[in-house]
Amino acid sequence: MAASSDAEQTHLQDMEEGDAGMEKRNMGSDGEEEAEEEGMGVEHPSEEEEEDEGNSSEDEKENEAEIQRLEEQLSINAFDYNCHIDLIKLLKQEGELVRLRKARQKMSELFPLTEEIWLDWLKDEIRLTEEEPNREKVYELFETAVIDYICPDIWLEYAQYSIGGMGSPGGMDKVRSIFERAVTAVGLHMTKGHVVWEAYREFENVMLSTVQPPPGRILNHEEQELLKTQIERIHTLFRRQLAVPFMDMEATYAEYDEWSEHGVADTVIHQYKKALQQMAKCKSFEEALIVAEPPKLAEYQSYIDFELKEGDPARVQIIFERTLAENCLVPDMWAKYTTYLDRQLKIKDMVLSSHERAVRNCPWTMGLWKSYLLALERHGADHQTVSDVFEKALNAGFIQATDYVEIWQAYLDYLRRRVDFSKESSKELEELRGAFSRSLDYMKQDVEERFSESGDSSCIIMQIWARIEALHCKNIQKARELWDSIMTKGNAKYANMWLEYYNLERSYGDPLHCRKALHRAVQCTSDYPEHVSEVLLTFERVEGSLEDWDVAVQKTETRLNRINVQRAKVAEKEANLAGQDVGRADQRRKTKADKKGQKNVQKGTRAGEKRKAEQDDNSGTKRHRGNGNQPSEYMETETGLSGRNAPPGYKPAAHGNKRAAAAVHKQNDDDDKPELRNDNSSVFISNLAYTLEEPEAKLRTQFETCGPVKQIRPVFGTKGNFKGYCYVQFESTVSVAEALKLDRREVEGRPMFVSPCVDKNKNPDFKMFKYNTSMEKQKIFISGLPFSCNKEQLEEICKSHGTVKDIRLVTYRSGKPKGLAYVEFADEAQASQAVLKLDGMCVEDNTISVAISNPPSRNMDKPGSHRLMTDMPRQVFGARGRGRTQLSLLPRSLHRQSGSVSKVENGTAAERMPATASEALNAAGETKPLSNSDFARMLLSK
């Protein structure tokens, strides 16, 4: 660059003075107040002023106590983002500039700071460093700030601050360098990038004014070249900006047309039109972002998908950066961005910087740390850097034990790839072995202490270590030691673990140890002993002698016989439990029937005649219905009396609930007409409160918006009490789809479940609801709440830790609270923070426990559930499922094992099972089909 003229140097001095004056003005009224205090005497304070000073002193003490509390909390958990924010606000309020600077620096080391925090910090530092020698510290702070996020305002502030240092050596070049970096970083920002371009052109226009001669003065050759160079700079800036699509870029084109003496060149017009076309394509996405509410993830994702199809890497990068500036705590978005950079751009500085920002924003996400380690290795980072990043990952605070297993695996993979196994011993190999040993200690101590599990139940890390020792180090003895340790950790009962060990010995060991491993497998395996037995026999067929074969056959037969006996005992025990349940149910029915019979006898002959007449009427009605096209069990429901005739002598709502009784009678009358029932135009409503009054009227109000309602059939119990569910039938099937949209809507504080009506005869496997049994990372589970806690109180407790989307208080069927709740946040980051903040908190003298929601699997067939585990055929029920009685048509003697003597509830000994029944049950407790003659003999024997 040519040297500046005297006029240019003079103008630079004027600009510096103006910039210094602006900095002084930015200091606000503090400087003016100091000047007034120096020029004026200080008056004695009044009583009110003394009182204000006293209150101020108390506030300062309270603030100092709060500052100390926050600092102590950060010493315990340095990753508490909100605690950092609160501390910085208090320190700034108190004017503790030294402590404020340290607090900001600590937060910056752990988290990227937002645009607002950076601008606030930078302006404070600019005011504190007016002297020239201190400008370099501010420059360093700006360099840190522009790395965190792509923020046009920070770049603009950086460039404007650098203008104040133009008078120093190389100052002009530094300003232009910063502006060039700014337009490269944010120049493609469609809504804010033009501000940086215009500031850059304004700076060059000022520089142009310094080299233009006054009227009448003739420039020498050097000055003419300087003038031409400066004019060309401005032309170039206009041309570059007009080639980039911006909102309202027409104004920039008009400005260039007016500024240029020779008009706009055709090539510039061509580039400008292409930019206009590109802007037209993006305009709808930009407008959607303007009107959308934060976090705008759906709108940004659509924009990203569009740019990915367009394929311009620079524009893809800028839209990702814009997305992350507003959604910095969304791990999935960081993962998509870093994956794109890894696979498409592959620029080292850009890739590693993005990975570092990702883990600083979402340190709890193991996948981001794992990707970071791979990126460091991919781009040739030194070993110390990779190790330091791994150590940071271990301290990041993952939310699952398995996350620690995966991050250790990633690091061990990296260390293994560094080892040259052609050497018998090396520093890298010893480091790898030391890392394996440390990982096992870490899982046993740190992870198990925190999660009550190691996260590596299958000992994956030890398996990998054993394979490396056997394959690469030829140290099969060490591999065997590791596998012995694996088996002692509860894995000896699994066939697949023994087969893995066998394959290892098969590949790198010898037949003697292969045979030994298979013999141990046969003795220890409990899940699939037949499989390991078959593998042992196959092995002996190929490599064993006759003696080896005989030993193998004897051991496998002995083991399998023992296993079959154990299985038979388990099956017998489960069958006995099932039989006892059936026997107790039969006894309860008998006792209830005897009591009811005694009560009927006491009512007298007249009442008996009345009941007999009612029985005749009911039986006649039933016969009449049975002759129709509908089966007799047509109106049965899962529970309750919806669509069923009342039993003889039944008087609903005897306790006084006449309204419910009338509803039951009306429902039975309607259900006597099969043509009124249409499942295709009906929905099933459940999970309603038992205490719901006038359910038909309230539900009609809810569902009339979906279409004309033909009838609503609430289901009542034998005493006229509402059972909590009903059927809503519409005039048209079109209304069903609209009704299903009301699923989970609250009715008097409980979410009602809206499901389609399904005939279980035709769809026996249909399930109304599917409960989530996987971890819900954005939802927390709270236990130990006081029973008096309601939704509003719980929301007040949780909202300070994030955006609360939903709260569900768990209650008994009666509506009484259990002291449990689920709270769903906007994302998993907020849920993780809530767990850290709320766990152990006292709520109305109750200490609550908080954890990430991880519902257990609902396994109804596990041992001890008292369900019969035999392969019984599925029973066929009515159109609405099971009937109320569930009486078994199988003789009771079939529920008892042959030769077993048990006692019934009244203490009398039960008879032994007949021989035919005994033959019907095999050793495993399975029921064999019986013929008609078998049933006849059993009945006659009674």
Three-state SS string over 686-711 comes to ECCCCCCCCHHHHHHHHHHHHCCEEE
Q: What is the arithmetic mean of pLDDT over 541-570? A: 93
Q: Which two tokens stand for residue 124?
A: 């404070």
Tell me the pLDDT tens digit for each residue of 297-337: 999 999 999 999 999 999 999 999 999 999 998 999 999 99
870: left (phi over 0), alpha (psi -120 to 50) or beta: beta
Give CA angle at 425 (424, 430), nearest 5°: 140
Q: Name the residue among 917, 936, 940 with its Cα closest to residue 928.
A: 917
3-state secondary structure of 638: coil
What does each C-alpha distance from 242 to 198, 230, 755 come to in angstroms?
Answer: 12, 19, 58
**pLDDT score at 242:** 94
Task: Return the pLDDT at 318.
Answer: 94
Whether 926 shows a pLDDT value over 50: the answer reads no
pLDDT at residue 911, as a whole number:
39
Which pLDDT score is estimated for 924? 39
Torsion of CA 507, 512, 515, 519, to 10 degrees: -130
Please write the tens of the pLDDT for every residue from 690-740.
Answer: 888 888 888 888 888 888 888 999 988 877 788 888 999 998 888 888 888
Q: CA-CA distances (angstroms) from residue 752 to 340, 684, 727, 781, 823?
A: 44, 10, 12, 21, 18
882 beta partners = none
Position 39 pLDDT exceeds 50: no
Distant-in-sequence, close-in-space partners of 544: CB < 8 Å, separation ≥ 6: 515, 552
d(CA 942, CA 937): 9
Burial class of 741 by CB neighbour count within 10 A (0 to 12, 13 to 18, 19+) = exposed
Tell me the pLDDT band of 28, cut-offs 50, 70 and 90: very low
DSSP letter for 654, please: T
Strand 746-747 and strand 750-751: the pairing is antiparallel
pTM: 0.58
In this prediction, residue 376 carries a pLDDT of 97
522: exposed, middle or buried (Cβ count in 10 Å: 0-12, 13-18, 19+): buried
Contacts of residue 240, defined as CB under 8 A and 6 or more positions apart, other chains included, come to 183, 197
What's the confidence (pLDDT) of residue 662? 53
Nearest to 140 by CA among 161, 110, 111, 169: 161
Per-residue model confidence as pLDDT tens digits over 687-704: 888 888 888 888 888 888
pLDDT in tens, 412-443: 999 999 999 988 888 999 999 999 999 999 99
Residues 224-236 pLDDT 10s: 898 899 999 999 9
H or E, element range at 714: strand 709-716
**Mean pLDDT of the 72-88 span:** 88
Q: What is the pLDDT of residue 921?
A: 38
Evaluated on CA atoms 34, 40, 41, 45, the torsion sign reads negative
Which regions of 572-708 does DSSP assign to beta strands (E)? 682-686
Q: Do β-strands 849-853 and 842-843 pair in parallel, antiparallel, or remain unpaired?
A: unpaired
Q: If you average pLDDT over each of 156-170, 460-474, 855-869, which comes out highest?
A: 460-474
Residue-level pLDDT at 722: 85
Do 666 and 720 form a contact (C-beta atoms < 8 A)? no
Give the tokens for residue 334: 């960081």
Q: Would you say how long the chain is, in residues?
A: 942
**pLDDT on residue 599:** 74
Higher pLDDT, 773 or 20: 773
Q: State the average pLDDT over residues 458-468.
A: 95
Rounded to whole angstroms, what are the CA distances from 596 to 619, 642, 886, 904? 20, 23, 19, 22
* Average pLDDT taken over every residue of the chain: 79
What number is the average pLDDT over the span 824-845?
A: 85
Of the candidate ranges 486-490, 600-604, 742-746, the one whose mean pLDDT is the lowest: 600-604
* Continuous segment of H or E residues that includes residue 780: strand 776-783
Q: Dump pLDDT digits (tens) for 749-760.
A: 778 889 888 766
Distance CA(785)–CA(848), nearest Å, equals: 6
Nearest 5°: the CA angle 117, 123, 124 is 90
pLDDT at 350: 92
pLDDT value for 234: 93
pLDDT digits (tens, 9 = 90+) for 273-294: 999 999 999 999 999 999 999 8
pLDDT at 634: 35
10 Å Cβ neighbour count for 338?
A: 23
Average pLDDT, stretch 337-350?
93
757 Cβ contact partners less than 8 Å away, ≥ 6 residues apart: 679, 680, 682, 683, 684, 727
Confidence band of 865 (pLDDT split at 50, 70, 90) = very low
The phi, psi pair for 685, rounded to 5°, reads: -110, 130
Tell me, what's the pLDDT at 674?
Answer: 47
For residue 146, what are its two tokens?
């522009």
Flag whether pLDDT at 868 surpasses 70. Answer: no
> Could you tell me the pLDDT band of residue 524, with boundaries at 50, 70 and 90?
very high
Q: How far apart, in whole angstroms, are the C-alpha atoms of residue 561 and residue 838?
A: 55
Averaged pLDDT, 256-275: 92
Number of H helices, E strands in the chain: 36, 12
Query: Which of the four pLDDT bands, split at 50, 70 and 90, describes residue 897?
Result: very low
Query: For the residues 616-629, what does the mean pLDDT come to?
Result: 42
Residue 11: pLDDT above 80? Answer: no
The dihedral over CA atoms of 391, 392, 396, 398, expressed in degrees to the nearest 10, equals: -40
The sign of the torsion formed by the CA atoms of 202, 204, 206, 212 equals negative
Mean pLDDT of 604-613: 51
Task: Determine the 3-state secondary structure of 783 from DSSP.
Answer: strand
Helices 495-508 and 460-471 pack at an angle, to 10 degrees, of 10
The distance from CA 893 to its chain's CA centroid, rounded to whole angstroms, is: 53
Of the ranges 427-436, 603-612, 766-775, 799-808, which one carries the lowest mean pLDDT score? 603-612
Judging by beta carbons within 10 Å of its beta carbon (0-12, 13-18, 19+), is residue 624 exposed, middle or buried?
exposed
Q: Which two tokens stand for residue 402?
A: 């398995």
pLDDT at 852: 86
Q: Provide the percentage of residues in the chain whose pLDDT is more than 90.
A: 42
The pLDDT value given to residue 50: 55
Average pLDDT score over residue span 639-654: 40
> Looking at residue 942, what is its pLDDT?
44
d(CA 430, CA 635): 76
How would residue 2 be classed by pLDDT, with cut points 50, 70 and 90?
A: very low
Instruction: Give buried/exposed letters for 677-704 (b at 16+ CB in 10 A, else e).
Output: bebebbbbbbebbeebeebbebbeebbe
Annotate 789-833 with DSSP letters as a single string: --HHHHHHHHGGGS-EEEEEEEE-TTS-EEEEEEEEESSHHHHHH
Q: What is the pLDDT of residue 676?
A: 59
782 bridge partner residues: 821, 850
Handedness of CA 477, 478, 480, 485 (dihedral sign): positive
**Helix, strand, or coil here: 81?**
helix
